[in-house]
Amino acid sequence: MKKTLAILAALVSLSVHANEKLTVGATPVPHAEILEFVKPTLAKEGVDLDIKVFTDFIQPNQQLALKNLDANYYQYRPFLDDYNKTRHTDLVPVVGVHIEPFGAYSTKIKNIAELKDGATVSIPNDPVNTGRALVLLHEAGLIKLKDPSNTLATQRDIAENPKHLKIRELEGALLARSVSQVDLAFVFANYALEAGIDTNSALIVEKGKSLYIEFLVARPDNINDPGLQKLAKALNSDEVRQFILTRYKGQIAPGF
């Protein structure tokens, strides 16, 4: 009996002192890099952070909804809201971390005035970012939208296209590769950084509105999990703020 109690006590002790595992999905740059930065801090607080890297914008949410992930970090609220609406999920934002510029790049022209009639422009193919790119094209005077305030605009909402631009919608991960293949390509900062594109070379740029702060995202059933809350606190720390400022030199900005 005493031996059994001793074994049980040892097992309880192990469970108390064992690190809690937290599995988080992220795109490579800068999200996974920022998570890697806070990993040692979390380890000291008893949280073993397992970072799963994804190269697309759908799987991290799917895997989170299926409970194969505890959280993800790669998206902003409009994208999350649209995903929840169209996929009938209820994923929830935890804390905002950083803001990325969204810009259009070219290897064929030096400024927008050089864009020729009939030029090909690549933009993201998901509803939220299609609209984001079209609004920027409108603001640059290249097209006219029926309602420039509509962040979910589609090509059907283009009222005028004086340069007869050929607009191609591509998956976000393919946009950086398209820069050399089209006349103008909209690329997310994370993919631009990963591809070695200088975000300061964008011919059209949205430096980052608060609407597009990138969030750590979880589910209603685990948002108050102690390990997740430790991660949220670490991501909003002064140390992470300084890491973002130093590592990315203004190419992305803290969002908290």
Summary mean pLDDT of the chain: 93
Considering only CA atoms, give the Rg of the chain: 21
Who contacts 55 (Cβ-Cβ below 8 Å, separation ≥6)?
27, 28, 173
For the residues 109-125, what does the mean pLDDT come to? 97
For tokens 């422009």, the residue is: 121
What letter does residue 251 receive in the DSSP assignment? S
Residue 152: phi and psi, rounded to 5, are -110, 25
Q: Is the pLDDT of residue 129 over 80?
A: yes
- Note the pLDDT of residue 66: 98
pLDDT one-digit tens code per residue, 179-195: 999 999 999 988 999 99
Residues 31-46: what's their mean pLDDT?
A: 98
